[in-house]
Chains A and B, each alone.
Chain A
Amino acid sequence: MTALPPPSKTKLGLVIDLDTCVGCQACATSCKEWNTGGYSAPLSDIDPYGADPHGAWLNRVHSFEVGAGDTSRTLHFPRSCLHCETPACVTVCPTGASYKRAEDGIVLVDPDLCIGCKLCSWACAYGAREYDYADGIMKKCTLCVDRIYNEHIPEEDRIPACVRACPTGARHFGDLGDPRSDVSKLVADRGGVDLLPDMGFKPVNKYLPPRAKRDATNSIPSAATEAVASTGAALEKLFAFADKMFTR
């Protein structure tokens, strides 16, 4: 059913820290590795060794330059499904393949129902859905639904592959519907934001803005660049005398 379920209490999602993301692509490759063998299998690559290699990935890491002057910076920006609360990609689906889970809010594509009409990708503002040209159906982030509830893997691995792989701890997974959860507290502390909020899709995933950059012109403590004052010892007086003589 493409009609949206009533808002769930549990809203599983990601919190991505743009301050600490270094753009290493570990989340993207880890995502591809897990999902090409998991729920979304296969994530086909087209012409992988040819002139125009491309394929379905569920997570993409952009690098931007933002701002200008002394406060400009490089920003690495991982982009994947935001598991919106009111996702248009679900309601436009003609077959019921796209759906939002009532129990935890995860947005999924049922690979047995999808006809590959691509309308959901038009409806998504975030480019989160990628059509698999070989499989003929739409692929998207599953929030690793086949890991997070999987009792056959060690407990520390029951988080999305991208979160598990991130070497800088820039990705956090949890219940954003629970204000007492670690991710909710993180969002509150760091002023987490929605992407394109005016689109009205109410993304569950949040992004933490980079911390304010130090101004290079006044951020170095002045004491660090000043000469150490003389202690007044006899030997220093001798050196001062020598300095005076040689300067003459």
Chain B
Amino acid sequence: MHPAYSVIFFTTLSGAGYGLLICLATLYSLGAIPPAPLLGLLSLGSAFALISIGLLASTLHLGRPSRAWRAFSQWRTSWLSREGVLSIASFIPAGFLAIGWIWLGTYSTIFVCMAVATVGLSLATVYCTGMIYQSLPTIRAWHQPLVTPIYVVLAIATGSLLALFILRTFFIEIPPLSILTIAALLLGAALKRTYWRIVANAPRTFTAGQAIGLASIGDVRPLDPPHGQANFVMREMGFVVGRKHAEKLRGLILGAGFLAPAVLLAVALVTIPIVATFLTGLAIVSCAIGIFTERWLFFAEAQHVVTLYYGAKSA
């Protein structure tokens, strides 16, 4: 699959944004964070900014961005539509939470309810993002039950890493959050490894023979292509570059995306606050490199069943 930058930025940035929102709203509803206006402005503001940049990036993927609002209509059948509806719906309780936290600077039942609703809707939004991919039987590497859990875990891991950094710039130390972030990063690494192993072993059940309806005719070899230059189908679904370097990139993803940030956070736990903040910032940079690579490879590695018409033996 063609790894479109707009979609990579959308899924990673808005994923981190929703993860941050989930973290902040959880901390708020547990009363584990002071409802200080400036902290609320910077932290919730960062989450809103990441989500908004992600959503705007996603509209760049569209042929007709001005019609993007139409995507809210088909939530009954379409995961993409559901994601759109929930992404906007989550802004409503999150907006009330922001009012309670930033403007009023209070901690009360009504705003705790809003925080809980924010957590639920944010989780649901990321779940829908994963289901857009997982629900497609045409792409073997995506049609796997771990795809959506990975989207959710990576959103939480990247979001809580950002929350940790913002809190540390305010010299607020919440040790359980550190531990949970490290756990989320390690869980992410474990899930990705398992996912790669499952995809490698998942049977390729569709053959070139089945694609032309003649499964028993024997070997199918392309003779003449139907077009002189690559058409849309090949440009969008015939992308193969990623597979060449997949092994090295997987190492980079595990190292930079998960293990290095986890180690940096562990060290940060036992250092002085200013160093801890610096190490957390470093962890974010490393994690960002790993997660962008992860998302790029998620697309680049995935083989679409339509490649059977273009020389692939099985898919």
Which positions in A face B, CB cutoff 8 Å?
A: 1-3, 18, 23, 28, 52-57, 60-68, 72, 74-75, 77, 79, 88, 90-97, 113-119, 121-127, 130-133, 135-138, 193-200, 207, 209-210
Contacts and interface: CB of A to CB of B under 8 A. Distances in A.
Interface stretch (B159-167, B172-180, B211-219, B253-261): B211-219
A92 B210 contact: no
B210 A195 contact: yes
B106 to A, nearest CB: 38
A88 B136 contact: yes
A210 B217 CA distance: 10
A122 B136 contact: yes
Contact of A88 (B62, B137, B210): B137
Contact of B80 (A72, A94, A113, A210): A94
B206 A115 contact: no
A137 B224 contact: no
Given A64-B222, A74-B223, A116-B63, A121 B74 contact: no
If over half of A's interface residues share one DSSP class (helix, strand or loop), that class is named, otherwise mixed; here it is loop
Given A64-B220, A198-B206, 5 more contacts: A72-B218, A115-B63, A119-B78, A122-B237, A136-B64
A66 B218 contact: yes
B75 to A, nearest CB: 8
B306 A125 contact: yes
Contact of B74 (A53, A96, A209): A96
B222 A62 contact: yes
A54 B64 contact: no
B71 to A, nearest CB: 4
B63 A136 contact: yes
Contacts of B138: 88, 122-125, 199
A23 B222 CA distance: 13
B217 A207 contact: no
A188 to B, nearest CB: 16
Interface residues of B, number: 58
A53 B218 CA distance: 34
B306 A126 contact: yes
B230 A196 contact: no
B223 A121 contact: no
Contacts of B135: 92
Given A92-B78, A195-B210, A198-B210, A117 B306 contact: no
Contact of A127 (B68, B70, B137, B237): B237
B61 interface: yes
Contact of B206 (A64, A117, A199): A199
Contacts of B1: 122
B229 to A, nearest CB: 5
Given A95-B67, A200-B137, A64 B221 contact: yes
A23 B236 CA distance: 25
Interface string B1-40: 1000000000000000000000000000000000000000
Contacts of A56: 232
A66 B214 CA distance: 9
